[in-house]
Structure 1
């Protein structure tokens, strides 16, 4: 399910420049659409955490996974900005519910195995993102467009989701958590939630603006722009495949801080590059840097025994998706005023806060 979610996100991210062109949107309009996508995701997480505790992640993951597959082609029905905003909320809701439920399922498996596995699971998300971006690049290179990419993704990934659901573990607790996710997360999760906010701001900027940057600032073609997200996803996958062993050996705090430094350096290289290969190398370093930040934070959020694991992950994920809500939209609004390169550079500076304050996070 992590792979399927990543593939759907990869198709969505690779479709953004085409959507922008198709509807003649400016950067501010696109930022508003991305804001609606993240808003839908946050609504899903506020709703989904307690429901996962009551009904189990397997059931919620089934509904949300099928919903995400079926909602992505709705983009083709949007003929105006207002219609796109509505579609973005729907797709975002399906993605958010799938995100929190698959991570809750991952924590269930991690508890049973009594060793870190969430980074490896997130690696499959990254591999899926790479596959989705690769599929998009292939479709565009062959002269296809959104009308081929998005329905094709649904046709391939819908049956895959049905097959993937069968071996998932049951983890229903029978009651909804009393955690108040609309307010602040529990005090013990405040720092983790703050880090999640920062991580999602910077990761979301890459998801939503990496292809646009290559297409409009670096003046590449559509297939090369889609490839940029694929390079980013491939590097994330590599980092996450190594992540569980690295975390077990060096501890979460050290991995968190070094990862943030690597991501900042990657942003610097990508934005300073005058040649596309150097920009892609920067994308790869960003991907490798951010690879294990979110899995570490989700693992911490879902490992507390005093609240349900669905609610713990939802609390951290809600803070994170608040970053997704503000981050990509902020990039778009700032890009209107100062240009996309400066906007992304300013966003990357938030990662330095993880370096400065990461030592205060627990290192179990």
Structure 2
């Protein structure tokens, strides 16, 4: 059991490294291809569209096979796509690479979280938050490595290629230790009848969480580059990811101490205050503090909601995750591109108000869910 947990932890960590390696290089890519905010927002649409296409496939794979198989194959494909992002020298090639990157990432995410929920049931204490904490820790390592390479003026090609090669080698060495025989025997079919109200509410929580979290991944570097005027534009992303990781490593204890309902409220308030601070005082230290609040606030929402979905009485964990992740994909489809369009029409500070609104929406939706479940 501990061997499986260690192997799964490595994959969560590596996924964070890979995603942060791409996301922290967005300003580099935008500059190289001479993209304005609206053009960048349009290209970013590739990822949620691809992810949406991958959802039914990922849901089918984790019910047809042990989740270990799609997890391994998807992560190997993700590493290949990451290297192709670095090699893309036109908008079309970038779109193609991002499509493959997002498709593989969606299949991987469903499979790895299915494994996490299955493994959680074998432990008396909560461990799911620690897995997502490792994803954030991987993100810190990824953006830290990017920061070092940017300061040394090392180009994106050797950067992303080296990360991809390391991911492939580690996957080949680690995947054989993952959980086996975890296919569900019931709850694998999705009904088109009346939607389950609890799953709908959990989906909405994921939607607004992804608007905040995904938007910060895509736009924090641009905010520090254009609004804060920092040459080392990864500073905001780094502090955001650092406090996200810190929060996720202690979120299980916070939840046990205060309960999930109060943790959702606490998360929403932190997101709202952090965004407001960065908007009203657009200089280095206030923005750093604000982004740290947002990172701490967003961190617990996704693992909490995934855990609740895994306890669904109607669907298997894999199908329940596929349904609520659909809401997250819609959040990706709307959130980050909308920030680009708002920034192009007005400015980036005004566009960031969307994150504050999305954060506060966590309160009424979570309260409604726990009232329904009581």
TM-score normalised over the length of structure 1: 0.94
Q: Does 1:295 align with 2:306?
A: no
Structure 1 residues 274 and 307: CA distance shift in structure 2, 3 A: closer
The aligned counterpart of 1:59 is 69
* Structure 1 CA distance for aligned equivalents of residues 229 and 186 of structure 2: 53
2:247 counterpart of 1:245: no
1:176 CA drift (Å):
8.7
Q: What's the counterpart of residue 167 of structure 1?
A: 177
Q: Give CA-to-partner distance per residue, 1:317-357, whole Å, 9 cap, x none.
A: 11112101210011011111011110011332122111233
CA 298–359 in structure 1, closer or farther in 2 if over 3 Å, else same: same
Query: Is this contact kept in 2: 1:56–1:173, CA < 8 A?
Result: no
2:273 aligns with: 265
Equivalent residues in 2 for 1:154-233, closer than 5 Å: 154-170=164-180, 171-173=182-184, 177-179=188-190, 186-221=196-231, 224-233=232-241
**Equivalent in the alignment of 1:119:** 129
Distance 1:149 1:84 in 2: 16
Q: Residue by residue, what CA displacement relative to the aligned partner does 1:259-280 show, whole Å, maximum 9, x if unpaired?
A: 1111111111122223212211
Partner of 2:360: 352
Q: 1:130 to 1:184 in 2, by over 3 A?
A: farther
Partner of 1:92: 102
Find the aligned partners of 1:230 and 1:180 in 2 and give their Cα distance: 42
Gaps of 5+ in 2: 1-10
**CA RMSD, 1 decimal:** 1.8
Is the contact made by 1:184 and 1:190 (CA closer than 8 Å) also made in structure 2?
Answer: no
Shift of 1:253: 0.9
* Distance verdict in 2 for CA 1:161–1:229, change over 3 Å: farther
CA contact (8 A) 1:193 1:315 kept: yes
Greater mean deviation of Cα atoms: 83-92 or 280-289: 83-92
How far has the Cα of 1:151 moved from its partner?
0.4
User: Which residue of the partner structure matches residue 3 of structure 2?
Assistant: none
For residue 168 of structure 1, report the CA deviation from its aligned partner: 1.4
In structure 2, C-alpha distance between the alignment counterparts of 1:78 and 1:334, rounded to whole Å: 27
The answer for the alignment partner of 1:147 in structure 2 is 157
Are the counterparts in 2 of residues 197 and 323 from structure 1 also a CA contact under 8 Å?
A: yes
Tell me, yes or no, if the aligned pair for 1:51 and 1:176 is still in contact at 8 Å: no
Report Cα offsets for 1:183-235 as digits up to 9, x if no partner.
986333011101111110111110000001101121111xx212321211110
Looking at structure 2, the residues matched to 216 and 185 of structure 1 have their Cα atoms a distance apart, in angstroms, of 43
- Note the residue ranges of structure 1 that are not aligned, 5 or more in a row: none
Distance 1:104 1:291 in 2: 19
Aligned length: 361
Structure 2 residue aligned with 1:109: 119
Change (3 A) 1:185 1:35: farther
Give the Cα separation in 2 of the matches to 1:26 and 1:311.
Answer: 38
Deviation at 1:166, TM superposition (A): 2.6
* CA distance in structure 1 between the partners assigned to 2:72 and 2:335 by the alignment: 29
C-alpha deviation, 1:180, in angstroms: 5.0
In structure 2, the partner of 1:285 is 293
1:138 equivalent to 2:148? Answer yes
Confirm or deny: 8 A CA contact 2:15 2:135 kept in the other structure.
Answer: yes
Rounded to whole Å, the distance in 1 between the matches of 2:186 and 2:369 is 30
